[in-house]
Amino acid sequence: MLTDKKKAAQILLENDDFLILCHANPDGDTLGCGYGLCGILQKMGKRAKVLCADPVVSRMQYLKDSVVQQEFDEKTIVSVDVADTKLLGSLEELYADRILLAIDHHESRKEFAQYTFVDPDAAAACELIYEIALEMGAELDGRIASCLYTGIATDTGCFKFTNTTSRTHRIAGELMAYDFPHGEINYQLFDLKSKGRIELEQRILRDIEFAGDDRIAIVWLTLDIVNEFSDRVDTEDFNGLASLPRQIEGVVLGVTVKQKGENLFKVSMRSTEPINAAEVCGVFGGGGHARAAGCTIEGNLQFVRAKLLPVLEKAVEQI
Amino acid sequence: MLTDKKKAAQILLENDDFLILCHANPDGDTLGCGYGLCGILQKMGKRAKVLCADPVVSRMQYLKDSVVQQEFDEKTIVSVDVADTKLLGSLEELYADRILLAIDHHESRKEFAQYTFVDPDAAAACELIYEIALEMGAELDGRIASCLYTGIATDTGCFKFTNTTSRTHRIAGELMAYDFPHGEINYQLFDLKSKGRIELEQRILRDIEFAGDDRIAIVWLTLDIVNEFSDRVDTEDFNGLASLPRQIEGVVLGVTVKQKGENLFKVSMRSTEPINAAEVCGVFGGGGHARAAGCTIEGNLQFVRAKLLPVLEKAVEQI
């Protein structure tokens, strides 16, 4: 049942022994929500713990460290930033049908919880946790603020993306009134690069493919490259490359193709208005947002390239 | 005479025919202040124009385009984000002794105006223009908001740097309530790179020098490299490299050395706490902020390198 933030706050206030579920392959928003909400509930004298199917990357370890690890039998299950129980990964089986409250900001989602509070206008689900906390009359502190700030910063590319709103900045301003090392956090999240990542960027920029009068740039992350770098870079580094080709002047459609198997390629697209990346990926059965989308294509490299290029070229022809 | 924002607002309200002076080598903050304030005054029915010794870079042309160009004899001269009349460049001679009001946020500055409103707690001088506009009861619009937003975004690295405060986000939130293409602006300012810039980055990363157990990274922009790329990259691209070496994992002192002449080298440093870049540059007669500073060293490359390295190594030894 869809509900509002008032009811969401009431559910949190009236229950105890919380298990908070994050989505698998966790990002800053789901973890910021999870540990931020956990901190809020613990500070109110309730018991709360966070669970995620996958480990927290080292640069976000401070989120995990922001709360006390508590052991108890959960009575109330809440999911944060989860649009579909499939996204719970290995936790789906265990908890999918027992979720009391889902707090989320995804436009397209599958209902699964008894109560769902969803607001797609929020740039990050952490904005919603903050607003629910206000509604609950909860007291925040620097640790909780650092969690909620992290979710907002990561989901907006540090306030750079078009999803950033007046409300996003207003909430960030209220969170910054608490004491936490935002400069250090931003440096870890947005600037710091491993030497392996730098070498990887150098390597792929050297072999970048241009098409459609240089308005398309394609990065091919073949198995050879993935294997060459796998001991020096992590998944996050590989994923971070997706934004790279569109940053090149003149490029309106940036494409990163990562080979997942001999005959399996995962395509990530980033586009500039008016190119709709979700529509382009839709041709191959994929989808996503207008500016960022993805799809999977089966076949060998030559086949995938021959399939992909004409579709990309047609997309930029229209502008 | 030092004054407050109330008096600054009063001066702006009581005068007319404004000439607003920006500092030379203009950045987003001085231009955002200049064109933002110009727009505010014009919207109040006053005459106002902006002057800068150097041209506006193409990616900030929208700031210039945000106001109507007016021709008239100036009666009231205001400087924005100018810490010293020297920084007016070629405009110093003409206007230095006729400035009625200086609005600035630099901690260390030389007084020159009849009235000075300075607030070093502001991350950007544009925050001050916004607050003065409120004090004036001025009406804003999307164009004015885009100017003030630009100054705040550029001086804080899009809200990433430690100078960002709760006030910074609050003001950004209020500006975002007006309609302007913030996503496009941020893309132009922070993501977009020319092909020349990308090639330049590749080139300097290939030859980057590490020292002090890899805690120091030095980029040498020799005349050879500068000349090789000068037809493809602009000054802004060269300056943008300064933040690059410190982004490498483990590096706490990132140094970019740009050769300005056969025996003249300009050094830019970026540091991580607790390394004080201003102190390190101070050894060579330079200065700046704790996290970002600069100095100039005379001598040939071998001499400069021999002078610089021991000082850098000593700085990181302490931690």
Average pLDDT per consecutive 10 residues, chain A (319 residues; last block may be shorter): 97 98 96 98 98 94 96 98 96 97 92 97 97 98 98 96 96 98 94 90 90 96 93 85 92 96 95 92 90 93 96 91
A109 Cβ contact partners less than 8 Å away, ≥ 6 residues apart: A83, A84, A118
Contact status, residue A154 vs residue A29, Cβ threshold 8 Å: yes
For residue B194, the Cα-to-chain-centroid distance in whole angstroms is 21
User: Based on the structure, what is the number of domains in chain A?
Assistant: 2
Using an 8 Å CB-CB cutoff, list residues of chain B that contact chain A.
158-162, 164-170, 172-174, 176-177, 182-184, 186-187, 190-195, 198, 202, 205-206, 243, 246-250, 272-273
**Which chain B positions have a beta carbon within 8 Å of A121's beta carbon?**
none
Q: Are residues B181 and B201 in the same domain?
A: no
Give the tens place of pLDDT for each residue, A248-257: 999 999 999 9
Let me know whether B205 and B174 are in one domain.
Answer: no
Q: How far apart are the C-alpha atoms of B196 and B288, rounded to whole Å? A: 29
B82 and B96 part of one domain: yes
CA A159 to chain centre: 14
Same domain, B45 and B127: yes
Contact list in A for residue B167 (CB cut-off 8 A) is 173
Which residues have CB under 8 Å from A233's CB, separation 6+? A194, A196, A197, A200
- From chain A, which residues contact B within 8 Å (Cβ)? 158-162, 164-170, 172-174, 176-177, 182-184, 186-187, 190-195, 198, 202, 205-206, 243, 246-250, 272-273
Supply the CATH number for residue A234's domain: 3.10.310.30
Distance CA B260, CA B268 (A): 13
- Please give the C-alpha separations between residue B267 and each of B260, B292, B299, in angstroms, as whole numbers: 10, 11, 13
Residue with tokens 């999918």: A96
Pick from A165, A185, A191 the residue to mutate for testing the B interface (most B CBs within 10 Å).
A191
CA nearest to B247 within chain A: A192
Pairing of β B18-21 and β A292-298: unpaired
Burial class for A262, CB neighbours closer than 10 Å (0-12, 13-18, 19+): exposed
Contact (CB<8Å) B195/A248: yes
- For B260-303, write each residue's pLDDT tens digit: 999 999 999 999 889 999 999 999 999 888 888 899 999 999 99
A-chain CB neighbours of B170 within 8 Å are 169-170, 173
Across the beta sheet with A292-298, what order do the strands follow? A209-211, A216-221, A253-261, A264-271, A292-298, A287-288
- Write the residue in B158, B176, B191 that is nearest to A166 by C-beta: B176
Is the domain of A153 the same as that of A284?
no
Min Cα distance A260 → chain B (Å) is 27
- In terms of domains, do B121 and B199 share one? no
Paired tokens of B158: 């899009």
ipTM entry = 0.89
Cα B46 to Cα B56: distance, rounded to the nearest angstrom: 24
Q: Are residues A93 and A200 in the same domain?
A: no
Boundary-marking domain end, from B128, B161, B190: B190
* Cα dihedral across residues A206, A211, A216, A222: positive or negative: negative
Domain boundary among A143, A158, A190: A190
Mind listing the pLDDT tens digit for each residue in B166-210?
999 999 999 999 999 999 999 999 999 988 999 999 888 888 999
Residues of chain B contacting residue A176, judged by C-beta atoms under 8 Å apart: 164-166, 168-169
Tell which of B168, B190, B212 closes a domain. Answer: B190
- Does residue A20 sit in the same domain as residue A82? yes
Contact criterion met (CB < 8 Å) for B195 and A168: no
CB B195 within 8 A of CB A202: no
Residue of B14, B78, B17 lying closest to B42 (CA atoms): B17
Domain extent, residue B286, equals 195-317
Q: Where are the alpha helices (DSSP H) in B44-165?
A: 61-64, 92-95, 125-136, 142-155
